Amino acid sequence: MLLRSGFYTGNAEVPLPMAKTKAQPNTAQINELLYQALETEIGGQAVYKQAIECAEQPDFKEEMQKYLSETEDHERILKEVFERVGLDPETDSPGRQVIKAKADSLVQAMQMALEGGGKSMAQLVAAESVVEAESKDHQNWELIGELAKQMDGDLSEALQEAYDQVEEEEDQHLYHTMGWARELWLDSLGLPAVIPPPEEEKNVTTMIGASRARQQREEML
């Protein structure tokens, strides 16, 4: 005997598998994500430039210079996406204004540390500021990657191509700078520190890799 919600086995009704329904895209919010992602890359460059001014440790300064160059490239890649999907990179939005305000506040925090505590203090604030900026940046690109998988057509293709170019560098920016912030703080406390940090030495690009690198730091001291 067939049942409306499943099929009959003789003893009990077994539910039929539910058909997967594709999510309906929220076009306005997709655009907002892309506007915020672009503003994050623009603001990130200001954060990196100030971090370079605050850097005292040569390897840390070199890393910040490298990430600045890559962030400039990420802005270019996003603008290419905008051109392909018909978005105006100059369009403002409430979300963009928030992102800009956050970047400005991080730059101001580093300037305050530099003026009030000198480079030793400013370098720590710089590392922490980059971690904050890159946390948002990393999330943006994770969401862009998810969009690329869920969407169809030109938008999906444009997002996927951009994501493939940027993903690994974004992972490095976040996880490596988290390691720098930790090790620079330990060094400032007079405790054994691994510089450059294990995350950079192991070239980690995943959260699991970053965790393993931290676990191995004792062997690197």
- In tens, the pLDDT along 157-180 reads 999 999 999 999 999 999 999 999
Q: Are 152 and 32 in contact (CB under 8 A)?
A: no
Note the pLDDT of residue 3: 39
Q: Where are any strands of DSSP class E within the chain?
A: 2-3, 6-8, 13-15
Domains in the chain, ordered, with CATH? 26-169 (1.20.1260.10)
Query: CA 163, 53, 187, 109 torsion: positive or negative?
Result: negative
Mean pLDDT of 45-71: 97
Would you state the pLDDT for residue 122? 98
The model's pLDDT over 179-216, given as tens digits with 9 standing for 90+, comes to 999 999 999 999 999 999 989 888 888 888 878 887 77
Alpha-carbon distance of 85 to 87, in angstroms, equals: 6
